[in-house]
Protein backbone atom coordinates (compact mmCIF):
# COMPACT_ATOMS: atom_id res chain seq x y z
CA UNK A 1 0.00 0.00 0.00
CA UNK A 2 2.85 2.44 0.74
CA UNK A 3 4.25 1.90 -2.76
CA UNK A 4 0.96 3.07 -4.19
CA UNK A 5 0.94 6.21 -2.05
CA UNK A 6 4.53 7.02 -3.03
CA UNK A 7 3.65 6.50 -6.70
CA UNK A 8 0.64 8.81 -6.47
CA UNK A 9 2.72 11.43 -4.62
CA UNK A 10 5.41 11.30 -7.33
CA UNK A 11 2.81 11.70 -10.08
CA UNK A 12 1.32 14.74 -8.33
CA UNK A 13 4.80 16.19 -7.80
CA UNK A 14 5.62 15.67 -11.48
CA UNK A 15 2.45 17.41 -12.65
CA UNK A 16 3.08 20.32 -10.27
CA UNK A 17 6.70 20.60 -11.46
CA UNK A 18 5.49 20.82 -15.08
CA UNK A 19 2.81 23.38 -14.20
CA UNK A 20 4.92 25.80 -12.14
CA UNK A 21 8.41 25.21 -13.59
CA UNK A 22 9.97 26.90 -10.57
CA UNK A 23 9.57 27.96 -6.96
CA UNK A 24 9.19 31.70 -6.39
CA UNK A 25 9.84 33.42 -3.09
CA UNK A 26 10.23 37.01 -1.85
CA UNK A 27 13.12 38.42 0.19
CA UNK A 28 13.63 41.79 1.84
CA UNK A 29 16.97 43.48 1.36
CA UNK A 30 18.30 46.60 3.08
CA UNK A 31 18.95 49.45 0.70
CA UNK A 32 19.71 52.23 3.16
CA UNK A 33 20.64 51.94 6.84
CA UNK A 34 21.92 55.34 7.99
CA UNK A 35 21.07 56.21 11.60
CA UNK A 36 17.30 56.42 11.99
CA UNK A 37 16.76 56.22 8.21
CA UNK A 38 16.16 52.66 7.04
CA UNK A 39 14.83 51.46 3.70
CA UNK A 40 14.21 47.97 2.41
CA UNK A 41 13.13 46.61 -0.91
CA UNK A 42 11.30 43.36 -1.66
CA UNK A 43 12.86 41.24 -4.38
CA UNK A 44 11.22 38.24 -5.98
CA UNK A 45 13.54 35.32 -6.67
CA UNK A 46 12.87 32.10 -8.53
CA UNK A 47 14.46 28.68 -8.20
CA UNK A 48 13.94 27.06 -11.62
CA UNK A 49 12.82 23.43 -11.88
CA UNK A 50 14.01 21.83 -15.10
CA UNK A 51 11.37 19.84 -16.99
CA UNK A 52 13.49 16.71 -16.51
CA UNK A 53 12.66 16.81 -12.77
CA UNK A 54 8.93 16.73 -13.53
CA UNK A 55 9.39 14.00 -16.13
CA UNK A 56 11.47 11.86 -13.77
CA UNK A 57 8.92 12.19 -10.96
CA UNK A 58 6.05 11.40 -13.32
CA UNK A 59 7.76 8.35 -14.84
CA UNK A 60 8.87 7.14 -11.41
CA UNK A 61 5.34 7.45 -10.04
CA UNK A 62 3.81 5.57 -12.96
CA UNK A 63 6.46 2.84 -12.64
CA UNK A 64 5.74 2.45 -8.92
CA UNK A 65 2.01 2.15 -9.60
CA UNK A 66 2.58 -0.49 -12.27
CA UNK A 67 5.24 -2.53 -10.43
CA UNK A 68 3.82 -2.21 -6.92
CA UNK A 69 0.75 -4.47 -7.23
CA UNK A 70 2.68 -7.23 -9.06
CA UNK A 71 5.01 -7.86 -6.13
CA UNK A 72 2.16 -8.08 -3.60
pLDDT for the residue numbered 60: 93
Task: Give pLDDT tens digits for 35-69.
Answer: 888 899 999 999 888 889 889 999 999 999 888 76
| Cα gap 49→8, rounded to integer Å | 20
Average model confidence (pLDDT) across the chain: 87
Residue 9 clears pLDDT 70, i.e. is over it: yes
Phi-psi domain of 21 (left: phi exceeds 0; alpha: psi -120 through 50; beta: other): left
Residue 17, Cβ density class (10 Å: 0-12 exposed, 13-18 middle, ≥19 buried): buried
**Could you tell me how many residues make up the chain?**
72
Amino acid sequence: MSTRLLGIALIILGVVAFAYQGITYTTQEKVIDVGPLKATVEKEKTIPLPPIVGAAALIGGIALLMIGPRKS
